[in-house]
Structure 1
Amino acid sequence: MSGFINQCIAYVLAKETEISSCVFILPSKRAGNFLKKELAEEIPDTLYAPEVWSIEEFLHEITAMQELSSTQALFKLYEAYCSVVKKEAEAFDVFITWGQTLLHDFNEIDRYLINPEEFFTYLSNIQDINHWALTSNKTTLVKKYLEFWKQLPAIYNVFTTNLLKEKLAYQGLMYRQAAAKCAHFFKENKEKRFYVIGFNALNDAEQQLFQTLLASEQGDVLWDIDKAFLEDPYHDAGLFIRKYKNTWAYYQQYPDRFKFIDSSYKNTKNIKIYEVSKNVGQAKQVGEILTKFDAEQLANTAVVMNDESLLTSMLNALPENITEVNITMGLPLVETPIAALIEILFDIQQEKKDTYYYKNILAFLHHPIIQRKLSSAGDKLIKEIQEENLVFIELSTVLEFFEPDEHPFLNFCLGKNISSPKQFIQHLTEALLALKASLSDAPVLKEYVFQFYQLFNQLLVLTEQYPYLDTIPLVRLMYKEQLQSLSVDFKGSPFKNLQLMGMLETRVLDYENVILTSVNEGILPSGKSQNSFIPYDLKKAYGLPTYREKDAIYTYHFYRLLQRAKSVSLLFNNDASGMQSSEKSRFITQLELERNIEIITNPVYVPPIKTDLKQFPKTPEVIKRIEALGAYGFSPSALTTYIRNPIDFYQKYILGIREENTVEEHLAANTFGTIVHESLEQLYTPFLNKKLTERDLLWIKENIANEVDKQYQLVYKKAPVQEGINLISKSISKRYLSNLVIQELQVLNQTETDTVKLIALEAPLEANITASFLANPIKLKGTADRIDVYNTTLRIIDYKTGKVLPSDLVVKDWGLLITDYKYSKAFQVLCYAYMYLKTTQVEAGVTAGVISFKNLKSGYMAFENKEGKEAEALITPAILAKFEQALVTLLQEIVNPELPFIEKEV
């Protein structure tokens, strides 16, 4: 299509006979490349190409100065700050938190040619008036705060003087110097003709540059503005260019030389606005729009992403009819897998202990690039960490699992004998080189690694130049600072195929078909956020840009995209669940009013909520598994799992799905229970088959601490138990056992005739159940924690480290016993009583119950049957018969092939 660049070329060719002596100045290099292409197509003859500069290259030509990166400028600023403030200077790690903001303000002051001495004096006076001290006597903190503002002119002067001596400049200083030298530059280059193309919002330095050019009659400034915006005094798309046309002396003298005023915006356009949910929804909607374009249309189509994080989703959503695409933006390095790996290595290096925290080691070993690099021994090490419960790991333990030829790489990644940040960076670069060598079959990953290798080499240079970059946390800060601005560039043809681009890449370029994503308030325009020490009123007073001017810049770019386009699709995200606004941009609202456009609400598919409960049929294979379980033995806990939810029973006992074995950094409830049970068994075993005495219980009490320590070592293995929450858990387990023994002493001392005789500890129990519906008997098996005789009553006791109330052991309705999980404790102790009494002849009365360590004040809580008016605690034959009937009913349900496993509603 014939766009703004073609219009500029036609104008210059009509005016100039020697095109080789022309210089074209554009907002970006990308715009310059497009101008070269169009110029080559317009001029059939062979000639010397004219020079095409970006604005940055133009400034360099005028000043002959080298521009510093923001990181380099930050270090130079710190040196100037230290030389002025001297002993009161803050450390670099503190300075870096506000130094970038100060550098940004210096940039603004220079770009707008403001007298720094006057400006900073004004700013200092404002801070003095606004300081928070309510009394006339200022505190030391307030004095230091106000002194800093008074020192800003000196900091600025030292900073800029030092840079000018070295012929270095940050962007703002480059602008100030160019504005001062431009008249001389144009005089020295009288043989050249300069054409400034496609600029909009100019700072004061640029205005001086371009006005000096116009006054010298050595060129022209070519604007890209539509009549609809220029003549409307309220339209922000024309805010800046309207001001230049009305105020520049050159245009006051030669109003007819103002070029160009276009009138394409009012032409008929096919504009569609899509309301879409989430970024993935936007990407899919763009893909759907692109399927309707043929190859010729795609070559003149731009997909413009206001939120560049949408790039990956967009690439995945491109339809099959698109075989080639040109991506003008880069993939941010921070989003690559190598960035995640580097973060892990920084975390490992900043651990305070000589050992490694297991989570960092597991993250390292699980990282896909490390798994490509290292042998399968890494999986064995992961298994060892989980099985041995290794919370902290020695480097020697890690190295044991790998071959000797892998040790150097592991030492580069994990070695902690680091004497300086420089050595750490050297280790990282060696590790990256080793990774790069192993990625010959993965060129994209290899490119990522190379980019990080370059980044750390730059950091290495910084550590050598600046001695105060002396800690790893500080290196990490600088690494993150630089990483944010780096990206991996894609290769492609910039002049054909579909274009995926950011908003700034569209400057000067025109496309027939424009698809614009994330047209949300807060993204387009970006809102009022600012990173500056300069208050709003002061900015207004000195003509510095505020949020209104920044909004006007976005307005210009948005409307310029629409200006010559024929088909426009605007998408905004209506999802309010994230951090970003779900409100459509004010630009969409304005378009709706101007052109009466209807918003297309993208129908987001929401799957219907399934009310049907999960069901799994009892296939012949499942029945075989149930029969095998019946022959081996159903445990009380397996049956209570079924009562809680048949699906849990199916997954755990039929399919054999178990929880993943993980490291217990903090003692889990089941491990805590195991330690308590094992300790009780070991402490009480010497007194089996005898009546407990006070002396026996005192001996047990004295040995609790040693036995618990021993069990922690056996059960909790190599996890740390002498610190933090684990030490508290250990103390609690000792307290539980001590309280139990104290309670038993009190029971024995109630009367002279009270006795307790231990019959069994951790007693294995089982019983066979036969029924008419069973081809073979089903075995019930379990382990009773303790069986004793209290006076004349045999007690079957289950220890619980959780809280159990007496009401949990009361049964009023036997039908609920096998359907309501609330009665699981009663069901469990009745199972133990049933198995014991089926195999053992007992003359005494029998009870079954629980001792709860979190409710020891209730003592031994026995099962009670409360069907009638009187509670019944003894396990009589009648109680046993009722339980057996309930148990058989439950088993009949489990083995019935006609009844599927059905999920229980919560």
Structure 2
Amino acid sequence: MISFISRVVDDIFSKQKCYDNLIFVLPSQRSCVFLKEEIIKKLPSSSFLPKIISIENYIQEIGDISLIDNTQLLFEFYSIYKQNLPKENIEPFDAFSQWATIALHDFNEIDSYLVNSEDFFTNLRDVKKLEEWFQDKKPSQLAINYLQFFEYLHILYKGLNKKLKNNKFGYQGLVYKEAKNNLELYIHNNIDKHIVFVGFNALNKAEEYIIQELLNNNIASVYWDANETIFNKFNEAGVFLRKYKSEWVYYQENPFLWIENQEISNQNINLIGAPKNITQIKYAGELISKLENFSKTALVLADENLLTLALNSLPNNVKNINITMGYSLKDIPIANLLDAIFKLHLNQQKFNKGIERIFYYKDVLNILNDPFLNKLYNETLQKISTKIKSENSIFLGLETIKKCLSPNEAKELSLLFSLFEFSTDMNAIITQCCSLLNELKEFVVGVEKEYLYRFYTIFQQLETLNTTYNHITDLKTLTLFYNQLLQNEKLSFQGEPLQGLQLMGMLETRALDFETVIITSVNEGILPAGKSDFSFIPFDIKKHFGLPTYQEKDSIFSYHFQRLLMRAKNIYLIYNTENDGYGSGEKSRFLTQLEINNPSITKSIISPKVQHIEVPLIQIEKTEEVLQKLKEVFIKGISPSALATYIYNPVSFYEQKVLEIYEDDEVEETIAANTMGSVIHDVLEEMYTPYLDKFLKKENIAKMQKKCNDLLTKYFRKHYLKGNIKTGKNKLIFEVSKNLINRFLKQEMQLLNENKQLKIIALEEKLNTEIIVEGINFPVNLRGIVDRIDELDGVIRIVDYKTGKVEANQLKLSDFSIICEDYKYTKAMQVLLYSYLYTSKMNKQISPLQSGVISFKNLNSGFIKINFSDKFRGTDYEVTEERIQDFIVEIRKLISEILDPAIPFIENKNLPF
């Protein structure tokens, strides 16, 4: 393969005898490097190297004006904005910046395409008037403000242009316009030079004018990179080149260099569909691993956001790699820490907690859990975190945090605690962030020092800008510009640009050729990028004044895509087969065009090989230490809920009872279901306690109903530490709890209205008894707390409150043998065990006796009793002595299994939830 750049160098050297007067102008810095290498190969050893420059730098030379930084440009624009608008119309900087970036983008296009600003803004204003004006009614104030905005836009444009030119700075469009105005002087001073433009395609109006003038003065040559296919009138890739060839006066008498007519024979083109980004990149890594030589191989990321993923997926045989894209600073861990610091203070303002100097707990935990800080302070931060969770504080101050530590520990964390104290002066905050980064550098080594230095320069830049312009007046604006600078800042990779695999973005491929090309994310919306509304200028105005629209941008992408494939032998085009939820993201139309023009293309759909790995169930043998711990647990007392945990999953039982591992405390911002259950239990206990051993009366229930609100407030404060129950979801949960209790009390009242006798025997009764289990050489203590024991019309009832939903079928039990096998029946096991404990305490047979559940999420079912009937829809509710003894036989079997040394704890693979 003879590359395009190689052919250009050969042609120029055959026509030019003197090389030191040559100036090569290329689309990018990357192509400049490749051209330089090609020239060094072919240049006589005694010659000087010609000048090689990118178009961006070349235009700045012609215009004798420097390119301004985007953030500084925004600050300059705000200064102009404040000078030219009435004081009452001036917006704060953060609001201004939201639309100013769009306006600056439009200004850039207006100047790049040499549009007459007077005509343009007059037309734009008139079009907007036509859009907003209604003949039968007066325009609204909103419409007037909207039209006034476009009136001001021209004033701002002129003011900004004037100030920038006076300071010898300009945004890209202004640089182009100045270069056009300065061109005559440039030509006069460089008449002995020969400028060679290499590998261009879509030129803006200023570039067209400059290149044509240089051509017409016979001091330039232009080498276009195209073939016959691109010049086909139906091919959108050739829109610009066909226009230049037919319209430029120079080409009426001079040849067009070049339209290549040599076709690459036996091109190996592969279209590969892969689900999701990770599969695309992993497959690209597999392709690269099969190659032996990477010197003429390019991995092109159409979506440059996949750079990190690509770097982590390269095979081991890639020893040298050249990366044209920078690594974004926002992907570096220290960025998360700074983001968490800003969010801490912004949310303090959002929740109006600045005067109290307290912070939202999630923001505090984000800082305490930051991996960078945890590396510095070991376990100290997790100690604070655990304490915060246990106290359930939604908002907390710095003093509260310090109390979690000893004085010495707090002293060691002085750097961390300084993050919680921000000044109201923005320059002081910037200085504080610089100081933080400066102190952190003592704790890092290697590349991390480079990270910190780059963040340090961002804050230095912010400090310089704010000292000059003084536009950053609040934390929100500071955060906005910090994030803007962060997105633009990238860490450049160092390496030998001409060796090894080339990892590139699409635009970096301009004028370059490779034998093997792998392109990822060849999908609509990425390649081509699709429509973008980042402009105030309507489509028809753009068309009228010759400004680029999405149609021209699609043509540009089409050209880059086709040109890259033009000389390649092995081509792998990978696209994402998974469309997004809105119907976009399908395979790029560029691939469909390729399929039509190349019937021999290889097409395939790939997917990751998912290996079925049989994960063995967790199995824990019962060692002497485990058996000893179990013995202690069963002598102390085992509860029905613990037995239910074993039935659910023996491994969970082992973790809780043997290892004593429980779930971590978490801050309850929203009241949890178990907290709500505890509150309802406590409220009902206090309500009914005055009436123990008494028959309830209607007036007793009425009295309880009046106390409901106060008691709920009391017990929510007890169980929901420092939580707010007056607003949001918690207020709703409070009201739901009140509604449930009131509905329950109404049911109690209904019983009394039916002249039933209801007597409260016990509340939250603690019961326990010892049983002997065959084969176990120590007594087993069964214990439990019964929510309520009452007597209704002579029937003793064991009642368990459940705030969750319980159905009657969960308490229908005719065969006791299944009670220890199926978790569904653990509620029945629980209340039957309470019945056994109660009868053991009373030391006599109690008849009639019923046992069951009151489910607060199924109150319509009332008291749901254990039903022993084996008939369909049959009922048999009496808990007899015989049934209790049959039940205890199964409980003994269950306990025997738990304590059997030969039976390990085996994970339940069919967990019910």
With the length of structure 1 as denominator, give the TM-score of the two structures: 0.90
State the 1:810 CA deviation: 4.6
Identity within the alignment, %? 36
**Cα offsets for 1:534-584 (capped at 9, x unmatched):** 222222222222222211211221122122222222222222357895532
| Cα distance in structure 2, aligned partners of 1:860 and 1:619 | 42
- Residue equivalent to 2:524: 521
Paired residues of 2:298 and 2:501 also in contact (CA < 8 A): yes
State the 1:602 CA deviation: 5.0
Paired residues of 2:695 and 2:758 also in contact (CA < 8 A): yes
State the 1:654 CA deviation: 6.7
Range with greater deviation from structure 2 (165-174 or 887-896) = 887-896
Q: Does 1:116 align with 2:137?
A: no
- Which of 878, 881, 889 is matched with 1:877 structurally? 881
Paired residues of 1:273 and 1:570 also in contact (CA < 8 A): yes
State the 1:205 CA deviation: 0.5
| Cα distance in structure 1, aligned partners of 2:511 and 2:601 | 29
Q: Does 1:639 align with 2:643?
A: yes
| Cα distance in structure 2, aligned partners of 1:815 and 1:395 | 58
Q: Does 1:426 align with 2:428?
A: no
Q: Does 1:345 align with 2:351?
A: no
| Cα distance in structure 2, aligned partners of 1:577 and 1:308 | 19
- Residue equivalent to 2:831: 829
| Cα distance in structure 1, aligned partners of 2:588 and 2:728 | 51
| Cα distance in structure 2, aligned partners of 1:235 and 1:748 | 88
**Cα offsets for 1:108-132 (capped at 9, x unmatched):** 1111111111122222222222227
1:706-745 superposed matches below 5 A: 711-721=715-725, 723-730=727-734
Q: Does 1:203 align with 2:204?
A: yes
Q: Does 1:316 align with 2:312?
A: yes
1:292-691 superposed matches below 5 A: 292-294=290-292, 297-350=293-346, 351=348, 352=351, 353=353, 354-400=357-403, 401=405, 403=409, 405-416=411-422, 418-440=423-445, 443-576=446-579, 581-601=584-604, 603-605=606-608, 607=610, 615=617, 619-621=621-623, 624=627, 633-643=637-647, 658-681=662-685
| Cα distance in structure 1, aligned partners of 2:596 and 2:757 | 93
| Cα distance in structure 2, aligned partners of 1:784 and 1:377 | 42
State the 1:329 CA deviation: 0.6
Change in CA separation of 1:219 and 1:901 when aligned onto 2, cut-off 3 Å: closer
Letter in 2 for 1:38: E
**Unpaired segments ≥5 residues, structure 2:** none
- Residue equivalent to 1:73: 73
| Cα distance in structure 1, aligned partners of 2:411 and 2:260 | 69
**Unpaired segments ≥5 residues, structure 1:** none
Paired residues of 1:112 and 1:203 also in contact (CA < 8 A): yes
| Cα distance in structure 1, aligned partners of 2:56 and 2:651 | 67
**Cα offsets for 1:133-180 (capped at 9, x unmatched):** 473422222122223234433332222222222222111111112112
| Cα distance in structure 1, aligned partners of 2:608 and 2:359 | 47
Paired residues of 1:767 and 1:838 also in contact (CA < 8 A): no
State the 1:744 CA deviation: 6.2
- Residue equivalent to 1:35: 35
| Cα distance in structure 1, aligned partners of 2:753 and 2:770 | 37
| Cα distance in structure 2, aligned partners of 1:748 and 1:580 | 62
- Residue equivalent to 1:904: 910
Change in CA separation of 1:288 and 1:844 when aligned onto 2, cut-off 3 Å: closer
Paired residues of 2:329 and 2:487 also in contact (CA < 8 A): yes
Other structure's SS at 2:574 match: strand
| Cα distance in structure 1, aligned partners of 2:620 and 2:147 | 80
Range with greater deviation from structure 2 (260-269 or 429-438) = 260-269
Paired residues of 2:303 and 2:520 also in contact (CA < 8 A): yes
Paired residues of 1:429 and 1:453 also in contact (CA < 8 A): yes
Range with greater deviation from structure 2 (533-542 or 168-177) = 533-542
1:162-241 superposed matches below 5 A: 162-230=163-231, 232-241=232-241
Change in CA separation of 1:320 and 1:607 when aligned onto 2, cut-off 3 Å: closer
Paired residues of 1:78 and 1:92 also in contact (CA < 8 A): yes
Paired residues of 1:650 and 1:901 also in contact (CA < 8 A): no
Paired residues of 1:685 and 1:761 also in contact (CA < 8 A): no
Paired residues of 2:811 and 2:827 also in contact (CA < 8 A): yes
Change in CA separation of 1:591 and 1:748 when aligned onto 2, cut-off 3 Å: closer
Letter in 1 for 2:393: L
Change in CA separation of 1:534 and 1:760 when aligned onto 2, cut-off 3 Å: closer
Q: Does 1:249 align with 2:255?
A: no
State the 1:59 CA deviation: 1.8
Change in CA separation of 1:654 and 1:330 when aligned onto 2, cut-off 3 Å: same
State the 1:594 CA deviation: 2.5
- Residue equivalent to 1:139: 140
Letter in 2 for 1:282: Q
Paired residues of 2:272 and 2:606 also in contact (CA < 8 A): no
Change in CA separation of 1:448 and 1:762 when aligned onto 2, cut-off 3 Å: farther
Other structure's SS at 2:226 match: strand
Paired residues of 1:303 and 1:514 also in contact (CA < 8 A): yes
Paired residues of 2:270 and 2:601 also in contact (CA < 8 A): yes
1:145-160 superposed matches below 5 A: 145-160=146-161
State the 1:655 CA deviation: 6.9
Change in CA separation of 1:564 and 1:805 when aligned onto 2, cut-off 3 Å: closer
Change in CA separation of 1:734 and 1:203 when aligned onto 2, cut-off 3 Å: closer
Change in CA separation of 1:434 and 1:905 when aligned onto 2, cut-off 3 Å: closer
Other structure's SS at 1:770 match: coil
State the 1:186 CA deviation: 0.7
Aligned residues: 895
Paired residues of 1:327 and 1:499 also in contact (CA < 8 A): yes
Other structure's SS at 2:224 match: strand
| Cα distance in structure 2, aligned partners of 1:838 and 1:598 | 83
Letter in 2 for 1:105: D
State the 1:733 CA deviation: 5.0
- Residue equivalent to 1:26: 26
State the 1:348 CA deviation: 0.3
- Residue equivalent to 1:268: 266
What value does the CA root-mean-square deviation take over the aligned residues? 3.5
Paired residues of 2:268 and 2:601 also in contact (CA < 8 A): no
Change in CA separation of 1:870 and 1:291 when aligned onto 2, cut-off 3 Å: closer
| Cα distance in structure 1, aligned partners of 2:319 and 2:637 | 62
With the length of structure 2 as denominator, give the TM-score of the two structures: 0.89
Change in CA separation of 1:636 and 1:36 when aligned onto 2, cut-off 3 Å: same
Range with greater deviation from structure 2 (167-176 or 649-658) = 649-658
Paired residues of 1:793 and 1:844 also in contact (CA < 8 A): no
Change in CA separation of 1:564 and 1:695 when aligned onto 2, cut-off 3 Å: closer
**Cα offsets for 1:703-747 (capped at 9, x unmatched):** 776665554454333444454443554566567667767876786
Paired residues of 1:213 and 1:219 also in contact (CA < 8 A): yes
- Which of 765, 788, 810 is matched with 1:786 structurally? 788
**Cα offsets for 1:461-491 (capped at 9, x unmatched):** 3333334432212222222333332211111
Q: Does 1:60 align with 2:60?
A: yes
Other structure's SS at 1:763 match: strand
| Cα distance in structure 2, aligned partners of 1:492 and 1:532 | 38
Other structure's SS at 2:488 match: coil
Range with greater deviation from structure 2 (469-478 or 407-416) = 407-416
